């Protein structure tokens, strides 16, 4: 028992060192990737046992680490990082159970982010799930920095599948190039915003 307690304490200290580095420099993708490696398997099993479907468990796991990436600054160390991880995992699971439709929509968004990443000329590694999680978190932040019209065009085009012609009509865009011009400008802004972070 004493040995197990010592091991747990050492792991908690190692986690805190990574967390503190990430708080000082959120762009340290290697540190986030290390946290991912330490807990992704355990959280995947947590979800799998509760939902009984590997694909759903993988989606929930990705959503969990997306939220963890966004909430690094909110972690105050009042509990261990492991406890924090599973508290958020339970929240993710509760939301999934409450709304299956929301869960299915998020699976679609994951695919559309890959398409948007292609149009932005981003180098995406489909096998690096940690990098994908970081990209989604950063993309979410960059989208919020766009104007309302630009954000509506990007979301309509990539996440909902509305044509550019429909978007021009729905948004009542009277500029000569319509939603296409808005989309191209938004793509440039998103690319610059993401490039400031560097490659995940």
The band of 78, judged by pLDDT with boundaries at 50, 70 and 90, is confident
| Range 100-200 classified under CATH 3.40.50.2000 | no
The band of 129, judged by pLDDT with boundaries at 50, 70 and 90, is low
Q: Where are the domains of the chain?
A: 1-98, 100-200
Exposed e or buried b per residue across 111-149, where buried means at least 16 C-beta atoms within 10 angstroms of its C-beta: eebeebbeebebebeeeebbbbbbbbbbbeebbeebeeb
Where in the chain does DSSP place strands (E)?
none
Q: Is the pLDDT of residue 125 over 60?
A: no
Select, from the ranges 20-29, 111-120, 185-194, the one with the highest average predicted confidence (pLDDT): 185-194
pLDDT tens track for 21-70: 777 776 667 778 888 888 899 999 999 998 888 888 898 999 999 898 88
1-98: which CATH architecture?
A: Orthogonal Bundle (1.10)
Handedness of CA 140, 142, 143, 144 (dihedral sign): positive
The band of 116, judged by pLDDT with boundaries at 50, 70 and 90, is low
């Amino acid at each position: 028992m004493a040995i197990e307690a010592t091991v747990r304490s050492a792991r908690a200290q190692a986690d805190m060192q990574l967390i503190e580095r990430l708080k000082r420099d959120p762009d340290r993708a290697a540190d986030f990737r290390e946290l991912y490696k330490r807990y992704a398997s355990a959280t995947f099993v947590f979800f799998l046992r509760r939902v009984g479907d590997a694909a759903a468990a993988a989606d929930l796991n990705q959503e969990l680490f997306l939220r963890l990436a966004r909430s690094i600054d909110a972690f105050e160390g009042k509990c261990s990082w492991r406890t924090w991880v599973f508290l958020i995992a339970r929240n993710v699971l509760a939301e999934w159970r409450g709304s299956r439709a929301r869960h299915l929509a998020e699976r679609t968004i994951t695919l559309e982010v890959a398409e948007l990443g292609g149009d932005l000329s981003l180098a995406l590694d489909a096998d690096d799930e940690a990098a994908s999680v970081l990209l989604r978190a950063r993309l979410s932040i960059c989208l919020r920095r766009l104007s309302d019209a630009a954000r509506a065009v990007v979301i309509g085009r990539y996440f909902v599948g509305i044509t550019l012609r429909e978007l021009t009509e729905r948004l009542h865009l009277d500029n000569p190039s319509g939603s296409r011009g808005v989309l191209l400008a938004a793509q440039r802004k998103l690319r610059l915003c993401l490039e400031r972070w560097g490659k995940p």
